[in-house]
Amino acid sequence: MIEFSAQQIADFLKGSIIGDPEVKVNNLSKIENGKPGTLTFLSNPKYTPYIYETNASIVLVNNTFEPERDVKATLIKVEDSYKALSLLLNLVAANMPKPAAGISPLAFVSETAKIGKDVYIGEFAYIGNNVEIADGARIYPQVFLGHNTKIGANTTLYAGVKIYDSCVVGANCILHSGCVLGADGFGFVPEKDGSWSKLPQIGNVYVEDNVEIGANTTIDRSTMGSTHIHKDVKLDNLVHIAHNVEVGDNTAMAAQCGIAGSTKIGKNCILAGQVGIVGHISIADRTVFGAQSGCSRSVKNEGEMLMGYPVRPLMKYKRMTAIEHKLPEIYEEFNALKKEVEELKRN
């Protein structure tokens, strides 16, 4: 990481300094184990005690933060410390070395493929017939691009990404290692003898611009048409999207979510870890699912916060959970009352 002074960082973030403006940092650290020469941040209030102990040289804090006692580090106050950290990390990433453009002699590139300007293709990558790779794309080693796939400008496919025939990935996307796009959807027809006949999956996967897909995430091709991931969607590692699913703009899913076939997820939704959604339903815009929720019905009202299995409105789920913890005591009280009633009847 390049060395920056507190003043340079504050100027870049349009923040204000409390402490030494000339102190310099050349790395990042967590606030609980900060080291001299590093920058850290305070966003979550539960980490506040660490700000008085950290050895980090600079701490980004929200404008609302007021220290209760002396802080050794120089503070840079900004509107949103977490967002400010994101801006800094993007600045650092932009200055990190990237693979030089060019095609490795150990890569296979079909003669019918169309390769744009400043494209990098690493060792043992396979580029099939009629593939189109736009300007500035980065194809790391051992990537497989099936026939007729299209990759947008400045998109990065990390090592081991596999994209089956005829799939489309837009511009400025990031696909992490082990990601698979376009494997067959889970389509089988039951036969009278109990066996299964495979239903051919002849569609594709269509990913719009500015999408990030995590490691070992899989998105199945559609039976017909496209499994459609709209712009600015963010998928964590180990997410599974089944055939003919549609995911709306700006929706984010944490690890191990699973979306069954032909379900439509709205815009700006948030799915926490291990959320499961059944097939052939629709989810309204701005719906939020808590971790391990299971949704078996369509969600029609926008902006709902849901949790549990089956999902319920968040406050109702919290009340039910609070009652559930008291069930042993309630059960004992019920049995005691039952005995009293029986005694009264006998008398």
Catalytic residues: 243
Helix (H, G, I), strand (E, B) or coil at 289: strand
Amino acid sitting at position 271: L
- Are residues 287 and 302 in contact, defined by beta-carbon separation less than 8 angstroms? yes
Joined tokens for residue 130: 């009629």
Give the residue from 215, 121, 211 showing the smallest Cα distance to 172: 211
From CA 273, how far away is CA 259, in angstroms rounded? 12
**Percentage helix, strand, coil for the chain under 3-state DSSP, each rounded to 5:** 20, 30, 50
Helix (H, G, I), strand (E, B) or coil at 264: strand
The amino acid occupying position 64 is: T
Q: Can you tell me the distance from the alpha carbon of 233 to that of 248, in angstroms, rounded to the nearest whole number?
A: 7
Which residues pair with residue 212 across a beta bridge?
A: 174, 234
